[in-house]
Amino acid sequence: PIPTVIVTGASSGVGLYSALTLAERGWHVVMACRDLAKATRAASAVGIPEGRFSILHLDLGSQASVRAFVTAFQATGRSLEALVCNAAVYLPLLKEPQRSPEGYEISVATNHLGHFLLSHLLLPELQKATGATPRLITLGTVTANSEEFGGKVPIPAPADLGTLDGLAAGFKAPVAMIDGKPFKAGKAYKDSKLCNMIMSREFHRRYHDSTGIVFSTLYPGCVADTALFRDTPPLFQSIFPWFQKTITKGYVTQALSGDRVAQVVIDPAFAASGNHWSWGNRQRADSQPFAQPLSSKATRHELGTRLWDYSCAMVGLP
């Protein structure tokens, strides 16, 4: 049977090129997107082969939409061999927080809570996988790993969940940050990505042995010209790709990032669960993937279990 993978945010950037490579490598790709017309245009623009993909509506910022998506996926009758949690919003210029329908700050609601709920609801489907050993792969990032230089950049502040005081306070207005401190839009994104990496480790710890599902994150390199940066200042948008290409040498093309995601979904070299995969920060033609250690901020057991419990409560899981 043809294995099936769901890719969230497949209408653009890393997700779109992941969908393309996965389809070219013989998988059926369910593009889980908030804008169906845009997803249709994007699939045709990069040439995802007809019959190798379908598009289903998913707005990760809305928990009702996440639940509706899972019901719609189940109705297709397809098996599920992999889930790629890729979609994200980055809104660094916001002065005031935007809120999800449930009242949570939008980047944490979309990037973390939406994927957390989706992952939970799709675990039973992954467990029934028939076409390949199931994998649940989440996009992490260097800016959420304080072990690395990119994770120490203080603009506007490094990722830091503190002691989860904002979650303890209910995470609704006026609270907008997980640590309960004043709103910083760029940090909210980094925090949400740190949550992605912590939760993947928690999924691994709780479910890998009993289900066989592989839970890992990856950093594909700096894909400096995706639409992720659409809400940054215009000057930043023109300089950032150049800076990453010539100064840090961290730049990778969207096509290469998609290829790397597909490797982590399919290849035997990435079959070990509980890892964060990276090709390093300076890209070279012979860059080899390796399992990268995460910072203590991402691996503290007690923080992981408390984040898990608060997240369950916020998405209505027992």
Element (DSSP H or E) covering residue 240: helix 234-243
Counting contacts by CB under 6 A, is residue 151 touching ligand NDP? Answer: no
Counting contacts by CB under 6 A, is residue 22 touching ligand NDP? Answer: no
Q: Give, as ranges, the residues between 256 and 295 that touch ligand NDP (CB under 6 A).
A: none
Residues pairing with 54 in the sheet = 30
Among 107, 141, 200, 263, binds ligand NDP (CB under 6 A): 141
**Residue 58 Cβ, how far from ligand NDP at the closest point, in Å?**
5
Helix axes 115-127, 301-315, angle to 10 degrees: 90
**Residue 130 Cβ, how far from ligand NDP at the closest point, in Å?**
27
> What three-state secondary structure class fits 28?
strand
Binding track, positions 82-101, relative to ligand NDP; x by CB under 6 A: ----xxxx------------
Binding segment for ligand NDP among 12-20, 67-75, 232-240, 305-313 (CB under 6 A)?
12-20
**Residue 54 Cβ, how far from ligand NDP at the closest point, in Å?**
16
Which residue, 88 or 185, has its beta carbon nearer to ligand NDP? Answer: 88
Counting contacts by CB under 6 A, is residue 175 touching ligand NDP? Answer: no
Measured distance CA(78)–CA(266) in Å, rounded = 18
- Rounded to 5, what percent of the chain is helix, strand, coil? 45, 15, 40
Ramachandran region of residue 212, left (φ > 0), alpha (ψ -120 to 50) or beta? Answer: left
Q: Give, as ranges, the residues between 44 and 63 that touch ligand NDP (CB under 6 A).
A: 58-61
Beta strands in 35-144 (DSSP E): 53-57, 82-85, 135-139
CA distances in angstroms from 161 to 219, 275, 313, listed in the order given: 20, 21, 17
Residue in the shown chain whose Cβ atom is closest to ligand NDP: 13
Counting contacts by CB under 6 A, is residue 219 touching ligand NDP? Answer: yes
Beta strands in the chain (DSSP E): 4-8, 28-33, 53-57, 82-85, 135-139, 214-219, 276-278, 290-291
Number of shown-chain residues binding ligand NDP (CB under 6 A): 30
Among 30, 223, 262, 265, binds ligand NDP (CB under 6 A): 223
CA distances in angstroms from 61 to 29, 33, 104, 208, 232, listed in the order given: 22, 11, 9, 27, 20
Counting contacts by CB under 6 A, is residue 150 touching ligand NDP? Answer: no
Among 5, 7, 14, 48, binds ligand NDP (CB under 6 A): 14
Counting contacts by CB under 6 A, is residue 38 touching ligand NDP? Answer: yes
Which residue, 9 or 186, has its beta carbon nearer to ligand NDP? Answer: 9
Task: Determine how many CB atoms are found less than 10 A away from the CB of residue 100.
Answer: 19
Among 15, 150, 158, 166, binds ligand NDP (CB under 6 A): 15
Q: Give, as ranges, the residues between 185 and 204 that touch ligand NDP (CB under 6 A).
A: 193
Cβ-proximal residues to 304 (8 Å cutoff; 6+ apart), any chain: 198, 199, 201, 202, 205
Counting contacts by CB under 6 A, is residue 112 touching ligand NDP? Answer: no
Q: Strands 290-291 and 276-278, how do they pair?
A: antiparallel
What does the binding site for ligand NDP look like in residue numbers (CB under 6 A)? 8-9, 11-15, 33-35, 38, 58-61, 86-89, 110, 139, 141, 193, 219, 222-224, 226-228
